[in-house]
Amino acid sequence: MMVSITRFNNINVSSIAKKIKDAKTIVLTTHKQCDGDGLGAMLGLYHALKKFNKTVRVVAVDDIPRKYSFLEPDIHLESYDQLKHTIAETDLAMIFDTNDRRLVEPLYSELEKKCHDIIFIDHHPILNQGPEPTPGSFIDTSAASTGEIAYFVIKQLGIRLDEKIARALYTSLAFDTQIFKYVKNSGNTHLICAELLEFEHQAEKIHRALFANYTKKKVTYLGKVLSEVEYLADDRIAILNLSRKDLLDHDLDMDDSRDVIDMVMSIHTVLAAAIFREDGPNFYKMSLRSKGPVEVLGIAENFGGGGHMYAAGAEIRGLYREIRDRVVAQILARLDEPRRTSTG
Ligand SMILES: [Mn+2]
């Protein structure tokens, strides 16, 4: 029996579809240090809108990690730091996979000058301590990926799927759910992917590009840093400090550090993990992960960051030991009383 996907679509995307219909020129972007979700969602919509006779430009804030080359970013998008032409006056800018304008700078300031309307299409909670999304933005925290929302927008516009759209959207859904591990207990991801796979016949190739792209040097790196994890509170907390030198010595991108925290979270006793990646002298990119009901978004917000309830991050300046101690104290407070501190 065919399952109707529309009955799982409880989100109202008609206001977004109307804005798109009314716009002649559109710029699409996502957060800096982009990932498969934001990239796949915006490229999916880009391929769809080209069929819809719109003038569309895709601009990334910075470089696209190498593993996404199968989406042909060199052909379809530009980096803001290497624009071929300046951004012209534009009717609509759509920003995917974040609702925090700070993560889109310095491009965001340029969009504010040039675009008549800017909206965020996202699935992260709106921050308690941070900038508000623009009016007319669409944020659905029940979506397991931003690509799910992009899929419903494309459907609402009545645009038929094709291989390029399906490849980009499938990348988005497969990336953010880590191949159906984090589906937010909904059938949406599977139902949408089943439809996408009628057009994309190389799903396994995408899975490999996203998650089996390691080099020997990367595995050596993982071996080294995983042996240095600090475990606290009866192995319920894992903490790790990743030096810039180690990443560079193993020919890795900053993006490669993402995998370390996922591996640590696979330890069944670990309920929360914090990784501090040294991005400069006394400057750290903190990534936090947790398993419900321990939320970590509030901790990231306390350091000026954001994210999801159970996966969040922030950029922090200061001495490692002091930052680490403050974060550990906040995780411990949540482990002891997860319900009281939970904001979700
Ligand atoms: Mn996402």
Any idea what the CATH number is for the domain that residue 221 is in?
3.10.310.30
Is residue 184 located within the same domain as residue 223? no
Query: Domain end: 167, 195, 211, which one?
Result: 211
How much is the pLDDT for 172? 98
CA dihedral 67, 68, 72, 75 (to 10 degrees): -100
Query: Domain end: 211, 232, 247, which one?
Result: 211
Close Cβ partners of 113 (under 8 Å, ≥ 6 residues apart): none
Q: What's the DSSP call for residue 337?
A: S
| Distance from the alpha carbon of residue 176 to the mean position of ligand 1, in angstroms | 6
Q: Does residue 257 lie within any of the structural domains?
A: yes
Q: Are 25 and 54 in contact (CB under 8 A)?
A: yes
How many domains is the chain partitioned into structurally? 2
Is residue 190 located within the same domain as residue 276? no
| Distance from the alpha carbon of residue 321 to the mean position of ligand 1, in angstroms | 30
Residue 7 has pLDDT above 50, yes or no: no
Is residue 26 located within the same domain as residue 129? yes
Q: Does residue 1 lie within any of the structural domains?
A: no
b/e burial code for range 94-118 (CB count within 10 A of at least 16 → b): bbbbbbbbbbbeebbebbeebbebb
Q: How many angstroms separate the Cα of 234 from the Cα of each of 32, 230, 231, 249, 335?
A: 36, 11, 8, 33, 11
- Residues 298 and 136: their CA atoms lie apart, in Å, by 25
Residue 18: give its domain's CATH number: 3.90.1640.10
| Distance from the alpha carbon of residue 304 to the mean position of ligand 1, in angstroms | 19
The model's confidence at residue 157, banded by pLDDT at 50, 70 and 90, is very high
Is residue 173 located within the same domain as residue 268? no
| Distance from the alpha carbon of residue 173 to the mean position of ligand 1, in angstroms | 9
Residue 127 has pLDDT above 70, yes or no: yes
Is residue 145 located within the same domain as residue 200? yes
Query: Domain end: 179, 211, 243, which one?
Result: 211
Q: Does residue 318 lie within any of the structural domains?
A: yes
Q: Does residue 84 lie within any of the structural domains?
A: yes
The 10s digit of each residue's pLDDT in 301-334 is: 999 999 999 999 999 999 999 999 999 999 999 9
Is residue 196 located within the same domain as residue 246? no
Is residue 171 located within the same domain as residue 61? yes
| Distance from the alpha carbon of residue 322 to the mean position of ligand 1, in angstroms | 30
Is residue 86 located within the same domain as residue 52? yes
Residue 8 has pLDDT above 90, yes or no: no
Is residue 64 located within the same domain as residue 154? yes
Is residue 315 located within the same domain as residue 239? yes
The 10s digit of each residue's pLDDT in 208-259 is: 999 998 999 999 999 999 999 999 999 999 999 999 999 888 888 777 888 8
| Distance from the alpha carbon of residue 29 to the mean position of ligand 1, in angstroms | 13
- Residues 209 and 203: their CA atoms lie apart, in Å, by 10
Q: Which two tokens stand for residue 196?
A: 């996408």
The model's confidence at residue 9, banded by pLDDT at 50, 70 and 90, is very low
Strand-pair partners of 288: 274, 312
How much is the pLDDT for 338? 55
Is residue 170 located within the same domain as residue 280? no
Is residue 254 located within the same domain as residue 150? no
Average pLDDT across the chain, whole number: 92
Q: What's this model's pTM, rounded to 2 decimal places?
A: 0.89
| Phi-psi group of 337: left, alpha or beta (phi > 0 → left; psi -120 to 50 → alpha; rest → beta) | beta
Query: How many CB atoms are closer than 10 A to CB 322?
Result: 11
The 10s digit of each residue's pLDDT in 29-86 is: 999 999 999 999 999 999 999 999 899 999 999 999 989 999 999 999 999 999 989 9
The phi and psi torsions of 272 (rounded to 5 degrees) equal -150, 145
Domain enclosing residue 283, as ranges: 217-341
| Distance from the alpha carbon of residue 281 to the mean position of ligand 1, in angstroms | 29
Q: Does residue 202 lie within any of the structural domains?
A: yes
